[in-house]
């Protein structure tokens, strides 16, 4: 399906695994124009060997289907906010490996949960994240086609990135040469749970202004489009179908048609249940796009 006038690409988080042809068939069935995927098990440190032949076909098939951009999402174990030697070594090794895998899957973006500061202060956690990214400078320079996106978070526990300014500080601490390679992925559910009210046009506009002040709107490259299962400012990361959660249809209408967010690529990460799946959620979004 061709995106509506002025609206950016719209897609979903595609389950790929090793079933490349099935994933492409699903993309076509849903009529999506961008997507996100995991290049390896999101709950493990390991990476399966790259199936170069199948991946070349996969990249080609997605391109022919008009699915672009493609984003890779990090696994859930990476924590660059920690300075505990074991977790830090594993996180950095995994972070480095994500880039060649993202390239193999044809991704232009790699979305990172920056991590948790745990027993350390938030400031120390932020410094750990920036130092971690800087220590992988060689990898970022080796893969110039992949932009690293720091994701906004709900702020569960000691998660870093609840306040837009935390992401702004990380970017400011990143090596100057790498800074143009770092952007932001805005998740609507997380932002709302973190205390930025997206229920009205004025709220959406205020959130955009806060992003601009913290890191600059040019850095926002990708949107995770999710409604929130929990109330405003809950700090709980639980996604809901678009229009059925606490952000609601009016909030999404305001967000989707806001001049800043309208042209950006958006991927859904909503639950798939007997009530609604991706197809139904995409239909709701398309209806809300003016």
- Cite the active site residues: 43, 73, 76, 113, 151, 187, 190, 224, 237, 239, 269
Helical (H) or strand (E) element with 109? strand 109-112
Q: Name the residue whose CB lies closest to Zn ion.
A: 237
Handedness of CA 238, 217, 136, 81 (dihedral sign): negative
Nearest CB to Zn ion, comparing residues 159 and 237: 237
Least Å distance, CB 54 to Zn ion, is 26
Q: Which residues bind Zn ion (CB under 5 A)?
A: 151, 237
Least Å distance, CB 34 to Zn ion, is 15
- Distance CA(13)–CA(263), nearest Å, equals 19
Nearest CB to Zn ion, comparing residues 151 and 163: 151
Nearest CB to Zn ion, comparing residues 61 and 115: 115
| SS3 label, residue 270 | coil
Other beta carbons less than 10 A from residue 42's beta carbon = 12
Least Å distance, CB 239 to Zn ion, is 6
Nearest CB to Zn ion, comparing residues 61 and 162: 162
Q: Give Cα separations from 182 to 106, 109, 178, 254 (angstroms).
A: 18, 10, 7, 27
DSSP string, 174-237: S-TTTGGGEEEEEEHHHHHHTT---SSHHHHHHHHHHHHHHT-GGGEEEEEE-EESS-TT----
Least Å distance, CB 76 to Zn ion, is 8
Helices (H) and strands (E) in the chain, counts: 10, 10
- Distance CA(275)–CA(252), nearest Å, equals 20
Nearest CB to Zn ion, comparing residues 175 and 269: 269
Nearest CB to Zn ion, comparing residues 98 and 151: 151
Polymer length in residues for the chain = 290
Least Å distance, CB 173 to Zn ion, is 22
Residue 12 β-bridge partners: 35, 268
CA 170 to mean position of chain CA atoms: 17
Least Å distance, CB 194 to Zn ion, is 11
């Amino acid at each position: 399906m061709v995106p509506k006038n002025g609206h950016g690409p719209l897609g979903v988080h595609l389950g790929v695994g090793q079933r490349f042809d099935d994933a492409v068939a699903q993309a076509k069935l849903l009529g999506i124009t961008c997507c996100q995927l995991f290049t390896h098990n999101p709950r493990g440190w390991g990476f399966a060997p790259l199936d170069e032949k199948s991946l070349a076909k996969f990249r080609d098939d997605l391109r022919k289907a008009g699915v672009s951009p493609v984003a890779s999402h990090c696994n859930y174990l990476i924590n660059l906010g920690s300075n505990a030697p074991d977790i830090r070594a594993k996180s950095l090794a995994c972070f480095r490996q994500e880039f060649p895998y993202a390239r193999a899957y044809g991704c232009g973006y790699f979305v990172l949960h920056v991590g948790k500061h745990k027993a350390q202060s938030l400031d120390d956690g932020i410094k750990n994240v920036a130092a971690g990214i800087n220590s992988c400078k060689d990898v970022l320079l080796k893969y110039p086609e992949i932009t690293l996106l720091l994701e906004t978070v709900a702020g569960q526990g000691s998660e870093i990135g609840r306040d837009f300014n935390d992401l702004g500080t990380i970017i400011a601490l990143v090596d100057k040469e790498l800074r143009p390679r770092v952007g932001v992925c805005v998740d609507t559910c997380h932002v709302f749970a973190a205390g930025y009210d997206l229920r009205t046009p004025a709220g959406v506009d205020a959130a955009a202004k806060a992003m601009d002040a913290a890191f600059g709107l040019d850095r926002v490259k990708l949107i995770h489009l999710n409604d929130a299962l929990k109330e405003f400012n809950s700090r709980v990361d639980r996604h809901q179908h678009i229009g059925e959660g606490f952000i609601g249809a009016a909030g999404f209408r305001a967000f989707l048609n806001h001049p800043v967010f309208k042209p950006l690529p958006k991927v859904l990460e909503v639950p798939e249940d007997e009530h609604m799946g991706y197809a139904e959620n995409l239909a709701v979004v398309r209806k809300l796009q003016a």
